Amino acid sequence: MTGTENRYRHSLSTGQDRRLDLLFDDSDAAEIEPLLAAIRETGVLPGRPGAEPAPVIAVLITPALLEHYDEAGLTAATAGYQDVVPVSFLPGAAPVFEDLSQTLVRKIGPAEAARQIELTVQHGGGILVGWQRLADQAIKWRDESAGLLRAPDIAAALTIAHSDTALSSPHRRVVLDYVRTSEVAATKRRRLWSGVVSTAALLLAVVLIIAVTQAFSARRAQLAADLAANRADADRLSRAAISLIDADPDLPSILAATAYDLAETDLANEARAGAAAKTWPHTSVPIDYQPQTITGARDVERFAVSEADQPVVHVQRIDGDGGVAETARIEVETTKGHQVKGFLSPDGSRLATTEAAPGTLRLFDAASGTPAKSSWVTGDDQLFGWLTNDRLLVGRGDRLLSMGLDGGAEIVLTAPSGQVVDEAGISRNGRFVVAGTAESLIRVDLHRELPDRTAAVADAWEVAVNDSGTLAVAATNPLATTVDFAADPPEVSELGSFFGSSVAFLADQLVVSGQRDGVFAFFARDEHRAEWLESATMRAHLAGSVRPATAGGTHLVTLGNDRYLRVWDIAEDAGARSYLSRASKAGINEVSARETEPRLSARNQIRFATPQDVVLAGRAGYATVLAADSLAEIEPPQRRRQREAGRCSDCAGVPGYFSSLESELLLSRNGRFLAAVSSKAVWISGHSPQSHYFDGPGQAKITATPPRVTAGGGEGVGAVADDGSVVLVADDSVVATLPAGGSMVDHEYREQRKPVGLFAGAPASLVVTADGYTRDSTGTEQRLTLPAGTELAACELPALTDYLCVTTAGALLRITGTASTEIGAVGDGLRPFALRLSADQRRVAVLGRTGLSIVDLDSGTRQRVANRLPERMITDVAFSPEDDRILAVRTDGTAIVVDRPGAAAPPRALTEAETRRFAVPSGGR
């Protein structure tokens, strides 16, 4: 038996894992062989990453490796390992893993490099660092009378002092003395004595106190050690989750949730928010077959998946919690052994199947899988789906047919001479059909209210059309194609810069396009600019072309090549409609106005004006009123008058309220007053509950030149009083008050200070600055008493002398007068820019660039809501007067309902291999 084999057997008998995973480029085999040989001599067993990863991975960094991996790729490849050892074969340190200690092979040679790697495998990188730090502290205590360990650190120090690293160190004795002396000192500090007692009683009390104190001390030290270990595991898993965002559809959410369960650290909060920001809530369902196609029912949450290897269709139902249950597994008899594709009727009760090549069409009961009579179908028909629950859309040569279940057929379309209908798409409401031939796309209105329209789009293999029949999207090569049938003639354009393998409409103006590399892209159409804007891309599967299908309108189901089907909850985004990206009076839609960095009034805002009316005010000078129960826009009076008089060709384009692109809209905290601030004047408008518009009492115009607001190219922000009596505008050096019916009064300050909170009211107004000062409407400046180094990010001022602030580090401060008290925290990963208090001031929403955090001010509990799509960041929220709903507005102007925020369930459980790979603890300590 060789020495290496003997050491390996010893490691197995002691339970020590001596395996080492290596990440390297195969072309470097000759260069790295001396190091591999030296590693084997230490008894470490090197190998390549596999199903059961080793605790430690060494990354052998060469020019060839850096050609294939960037830093993000290396981070993802090494996520989940307990320790990562960067080994540089370059002349110096590598330009990756710069935060880790690197082993420089050229400097120390293969033998010493192998020894250092072996130490990490044997002891762990964390133990090595911890031991070195503890030994340094012990030596300073011995030689320089340095301080002892704190009581919470003693348990962890004892663990390190009894590790394998410590056993072979010459400093172990002084470290043990240091730890024991610290423990004795901590015990003495905790002893409590109670008066003078008899000698016998005192001796007994001493014995009891020492025993109880030692037991309590040991228990407390163990709890502290467990807490520290949980926090360390939480941060380790959080880092792994963050590194896998954009690389895996499931693991970031699962690891972030696992980390948060272990300990609510700032990094765990950042991981949860980061993972949620790049994906929709979804459920991942493992499947034991290779899928081929997927289709969904229009009216119910059911879908059908066909297998690639055999003629089988699986009919599945989405449960209320997003889970999936199979209702039928249907084996289809085929004429030539072809693959099959299944289409569910709109109500999900029937399944129609067709072979991949033209062949027999068959009908089944979707619940039981029982076949129905199908002799009414000829053998060369192509099935494209269901028009209604009892009529199919069938292609037969140059004709497109509406076929009843009794075999009767009606001609929907006859293609131009010489063309064959080989593809067709049906709108979700069943009214519009777009047929594809080798040369064109042809739209048909089945209600026959609109004329057929034709667009020159060749060789589309998949087509989708929206419910209004105005837009179609086709999967074509090399890029997906869109058609605007509302234009005359229809306008054809490319969709984005990606190859779209499949397409589907999620809403009338929102398209999802499946890509070849496991992701899907979202495109939202700006109806006034007549452009498709790429909203986001999202990782859906690990590999393969993504095939999407909608089911019931609230879920998107996707297939890839990773043996999972995923069910995505799209209700929030599919149902959202943009109200604040309308055209101006000049026909301009100023997109840049919506992309300004949000703060205070420089953002889209939302308020309850009454329990029934919700007011939206936007960055582009546009405001409107929505019905609180449905979030549907209430038609403004002037639009209704123009529509009734027949004086507008596009009444939907008439704005509810529009000031100008260079004015800032301010909403009072109670939503009852709207102010528009420009460089030359300020207009104040009151909301009317009767007209649901801004034509109520309190109308005023103040001619003045206030500080230039952000919408006008300046840095100013503003606020309007709850009674509409005064408007406050401030920038870094000027505070200006503009009373309704009066003249502007402004005060200029010598020091520039950024405003982060404003209170507008009579008889006084107030500004709070980021560096902890207040400036009032009389020109007085006063410094607040804040902890050293505090920088305020935003403040909410319900009154002049009592207000709430959040710091850039995420601490919540209650400020009364000039004194401050910390009452909670939201973590530094939120990047806050605004606060919003509930009506009873018992809850606060902290809005940040990564999401929002809802904090209960009574209990201090907090719950996080993440921004799911980068271009749809939540910029403001409104608590309902009854505090039973939270509404929000996003960067793109869409108004949504924010559910009572809670931790979304992970998409699935970790597999056993993943649990080992990421060293997930089996339970809390």
CA distances from 199 to 208, 212, 784 (A): 14, 20, 57
Average pLDDT over residues 57-67: 90
Q: CA-to-CA distance for 312 and 316, rounded, in angstroms?
A: 13
**CATH H-level superfamily of 286-504+549-575:** YVTN repeat-like/Quinoprotein amine dehydrogenase (2.130.10.10)
403: tokens are 């076929």
Residue-level pLDDT at 701: 93
Closest CA to 510 of 593, 572, 457, 454: 572
SS3 221: helix
Between residues 922 and 765, the one the model is more confident about: 765
Distance of CA 816 to the CA centre of its chain: 36
pLDDT at residue 376, as a whole number: 55
On the question of pLDDT at 592 being above 50, the answer is no
Per-residue tokens: 98: 């710069």
As beta bridge partners, residue 402 has: 393, 410
State the pLDDT at residue 812. 92
pLDDT at 823: 86
Question: Is the confidence at residue 6, as pLDDT, over 60?
Answer: no
- Residue 586 pLDDT class (50, 70, 90 cuts): very low
Q: Does the pLDDT of residue 242 top 70, yes or no?
A: yes
Please report which confidence band the pLDDT of residue 359 belongs to, taking 50, 70 and 90 as the band edges. Answer: low
Continuous segment of H or E residues that includes residue 182: helix 172-190
How far is the C-alpha of 835 from the C-alpha of 890, rounded, in Å?
15
SS3 content of the chain, % helix, strand, coil (to 5): 25, 35, 40
Q: Residue 195: its pLDDT value, please?
A: 37
Read off the pLDDT of each residue in 419-433 and give the average, rounded to a whole number. 92
Of residues 510, 496, 559, 574, the one with CA closest to residue 280: 574
**Is the model's pLDDT at 90 over the cut of 50?**
yes
* pLDDT(499) > 90: no
| Same-fold call for 3-123 versus 591-898 | no
Q: What number of other Cβ atoms are within 10 A of residue 465's Cβ? A: 26
What mean pLDDT do residues 646-668 have? 75
Q: Which of 179-183, 824-828, 868-872, 913-917 has the highest mean pLDDT?
A: 913-917
Q: Which helix (H) or strand (E) holds 688?
A: strand 681-688
Average pLDDT for the chain: 81
Q: At how many degrees (to 10) do helices 199-244 and 172-190 cross?
A: 120
- Span 475-486, pLDDT tens digits: 888 888 999 998
More confident residue, 68 or 729: 729
Q: Is 389 exposed, middle or buried (0-12, 13-18, 19+ CB in 10 A)?
A: middle
Query: Could you check whether the bond before residue 489 is cis, i.e. omega within 30 degrees of 0?
Result: yes
Mean of pLDDT values over 52-60: 88
Q: How confident is the model at residue 192, as a pLDDT?
A: 37
Q: What percent of the chain has pLDDT over 70?
A: 81
- Residue 721 one-letter amino acid: A
| pLDDT > 60? residue 203 | no
Give CA–CA dist 875/616, Å, rounded.
11
Alpha-carbon gap, residue 246 to 242, rounded angstroms = 9
CB 559 within 8 A of CB 515: no
Question: How far is CA 568 from its chain centroid?
Answer: 13
Element (H, E) at 223: helix 199-244
pLDDT digits (tens, 9 = 90+) for 99-110: 677 888 888 889
Q: Which residue has the higher pLDDT, 175 or 796?
A: 796
Structure tokens that stand for 662 in this block? 């260079």
| Calpha distance 920→687 (Å, rounded) | 55
CA-based R_g, the chain, Å? 34
Determine the average pLDDT of the residues in 226-246: 88
Q: Which residue has the higher pLDDT, 857 or 373?
A: 857
Percent of the chain scoring above 90 in pLDDT: 34
**pLDDT (tens digit, 9 = 90+) per residue, 502-524?**
888 887 777 888 887 888 887 87
User: Which is more confidently placed, 228 or 206?
Assistant: 228
The strand ranges marked E within 183-309 are: 282-286, 291-296, 302-307
Nearest to 343 by CA among 325, 371, 364, 368: 364
- Those residues whose C-beta lies under 8 Å from the C-beta of residue 158, and which sit 6 or more positions away, are 179
Lowest mean pLDDT segment, chosen from 3-7, 72-76, 142-146, 750-754: 3-7
User: In this structure, what DSSP letter does residue 215 have?
Assistant: H
**Mean pLDDT over residues 218-244, rounded?**
82
> Burial letters for 482-506: b for 16+ Cβ neighbours within 10 Å, e otherwise?
bbbbeeeebebeebbebbbbbbbbb
693-703, strands of its sheet edge to edge: 664-667, 673-677, 681-688, 693-703
Give the start-to-end residue ranges of the domains of the chain. Answer: 3-123, 286-504+549-575, 591-898
Of 4-18, 408-422, 516-530, 556-570, the least confident: 4-18
Residue 207's pLDDT is 56
Q: Cβ(478)–Cβ(502) under 8 Å?
A: no
Burial (Cβ within 10 Å: 0-12, 13-18, ≥19) of residue 224: middle
In Å, how far are 176, 350, 366, 375 from 371, measured between CA atoms? 79, 10, 9, 12
**CATH fold for domain 3-123:** Rossmann fold (3.40.50)
Which residues are bridge partners to 19 per DSSP?
Answer: 45
Query: pLDDT tens across 595-615, in order?
Result: 457 888 888 999 999 999 999
Whether this prediction's pTM lies above 0.75 is answered by: no
Out of 258-272, 540-554, 680-694, 814-828, the most confident range is 680-694
Say if residue 5's pLDDT is above 70: no
Q: How would residue 274 be classed by pLDDT, with cut points 50, 70 and 90? A: confident
Looking at residue 746, its pLDDT comes to 93
Looking at domain 591-898, which CATH architecture does it have?
Answer: 7 Propeller (2.130)
Query: Residues 145-198: pLDDT tens digits?
Result: 677 877 767 766 665 665 555 555 667 777 777 877 777 676 655 443 333 334
Cβ pair 261, 271 in contact under 8 A: no
More confident residue, 123 or 366: 366
Residue predicted with more confidence, 141 or 787: 787
